[in-house]
């Protein structure tokens, strides 16, 4: 299996889709947002920098990302492919990632972009809840993604929490960062012939099927 990069605006479902693909193809799911949220709990200078940056919705400094990503991709579980959820996030990071791939003797693989209407994203952001124990994702604003028992994870019984950057103000900044810094990546990867576009407006299952079609070669390279 080749490596997969997911690119999408905030709350478009890249975390959910990455987890499903992780399970189906047994590939490690590397979410830079999850890693940063863990480090942000530390009582240290970097912890405090990350708490502030993440809650504002701005991007973390590139230099912090490079060591973090190279260390993670050097681990043995990445030897047979992995899913990158949240990196690269701008063209500078993509160029640095090309160098990291060379050093690790890895190939770029698939770059999959989830396209979705901005109006849908804002609704998803305010309804998103995440299990503090197992990380399962729910959405109070989507009938098919609500927990069976209020505030409780269906899978492990853990408590559901709201991310502190899942509010309208932070969303606006995150969306703007996506348009200004992340979207230019699409041209970068289109030119390399590795970009695949998925319509992210459908249900979780519909979006997943489109991704599987690409990975199992029933989709078209654009
Ligand atoms: P996510 O979980 O992907 O929505 O990411 C949450 C937050 O983590 C983002 O709003 C950024 O502040 C930070 N972040 C995640 N990945 C990166 C990255 N590759 N570069 C810079 N900041 C990042």
Strand order in the sheet with 110-115: 29-31, 83-85, 4-7, 110-115, 195-199
Is 87 touching ligand 1 by the criterion CB < 6 Å?
yes
| pLDDT reported for residue 150 | 96
Nearest Cα to 166, choosing from 87, 56, 84? Answer: 56
pTM of the model: 0.91
Tell me the pLDDT band of 220, cut-offs 50, 70 and 90.
Answer: very low
Task: Report which ligand 1 atom has the smallest distance to the Cα of 61.
Answer: 21
Q: Calculate the average pLDDT of the chain.
A: 94
Is 14 part of the annotated catalytic residue set?
yes
Centre of ligand 1 from the C-alpha of residue 185, in Å: 15
- The whole-number average pLDDT for the span 87-94 is 98
Residue 159 a catalytic site member: no
C-alpha to C-alpha distance for 79 and 76, rounded to whole angstroms: 6
Nearest CA to ligand 1 atom 14: 33
Instruction: Give the count of beta carbons closer than 10 Å to the beta carbon of residue 208.
Output: 18
Give mean pLDDT, residues 196-204. 94
| Rounded alpha-carbon distances, angstroms, from residue 4 to 84, 119, 196, 205 | 6, 27, 11, 19
Is the pLDDT assigned to residue 222 strictly greater than 70? no
51 annotated active-site: no
**Which is higher by pLDDT, 221 or 20?**
20
């Amino acid at each position: 299996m080749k490596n997969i990069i997911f690119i999408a605006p905030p709350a478009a479902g890249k975390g959910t889709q990455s987890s499903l693909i992780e399970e189906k193809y047994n590939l490690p799911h590397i979410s830079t947002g999850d890693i940063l949220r863990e480090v942000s709990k530390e009582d240290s200078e970097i912890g405090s920098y990350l708490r502030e940056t993440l809650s504002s919705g701005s991007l973390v400094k590139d230099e912090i990302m490079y060591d973090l990503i190279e260390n993670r991709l050097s681990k043995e579980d990445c030897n047979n492919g992995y899913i990158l959820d949240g990196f690269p996030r701008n063209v500078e990071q993509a160029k640095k990632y090309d160098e990291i791939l060379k050093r690790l003797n890895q190939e770029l693989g698939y770059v999959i972009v989830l396209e979705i209407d901005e109006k849908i994203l804002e609704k998803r952001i305010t309804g998103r809840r995440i299990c503090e124990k197992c990380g399962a994702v729910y959405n109070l604003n989507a009938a098919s993604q609500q927990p069976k028992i209020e505030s409780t994870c269906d899978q492990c019984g853990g408590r559901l929490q709201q991310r502190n950057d899942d509010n309208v103000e932070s969303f606006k900044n995150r969306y703007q960062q996506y348009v200004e810094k992340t979207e230019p990546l699409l041209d970068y990867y289109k030119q390399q012939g590795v970009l695949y576009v998925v319509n992210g407006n459908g249900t979780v299952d519909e979006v997943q099927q489109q991704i599987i079609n690409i990975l199992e070669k029933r989709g078209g390279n654009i």
